[in-house]
Homo-oligomer: A and B are copies of this chain.
Amino acid sequence: MKSGMNDVDRKVLSRSLLDIAWSFGPKGLDGSCCQDLGMAEFLALDGISRIADCPVQQVGHSLGFTKSGATRIVSRLVMKGYVSKRSSGHDARVCCLEVTEHGREMLSQAYAQYGNLLNRVFSGLDETEKGELQESLIRFSTLLMRENYQEENR
């Protein structure tokens, strides 16, 4: 067999990834990432925090939402006080999004919760195993993101 991975392997792996996606994602952490933030909102907030003067479109793009969906998720984050919005000086059409202090607190709190979960999951493993697992997960994530990127620029 060319690929070296048979149907059973792929199915088991797919199911494992689905389980990870389900329990770490939408249904993880008691149904929402953190307090009043859903998963998409959390990802949006995190995305905004990584880009200076992030435009609304950018949020939609990185989440795979339409620009309408982007407006909606951003306005929710603004309403909750996690993000501030002002229009750009250079181009009055674009908005500059910025994470507020309140938003940064929320972000680090949410990451702390995820960290706690990871600690519980990893408890019982020795340092070497922990390190290997972590490295593999990050590597897979990188590969997956790369594939997504290639996919959308096809």
A contact residues vs B (CB 8 Å cutoff): 3-5, 7, 9-28, 31, 39, 42-43, 46, 63-64, 111, 114-115, 117-122, 125, 127, 130-134, 136-145, 147-148
B20 touches A20 (CB 8 A): yes
Residue of B nearest to A128 (CB): B4
A130 touches B4 (CB 8 A): yes
In Å, the complex CA distance between A151 and B134 comes to 22
Contacts of A26 in B (CB 8 A): 21, 25-26, 39
Contacts of A5 in B (CB 8 A): 118-119, 122, 130, 134
Residue of B nearest to A139 (CB): B133
Residue of B nearest to A3 (CB): B119
B141 touches A16 (CB 8 A): yes
Q: Chain B nearest CB: distance from A5 CB in Å?
A: 7
For A22, A31, A114, A121, which residue has the most chain B Cβ atoms within 10 angstroms? A22
In Å, the complex CA distance between A20 and B146 comes to 12
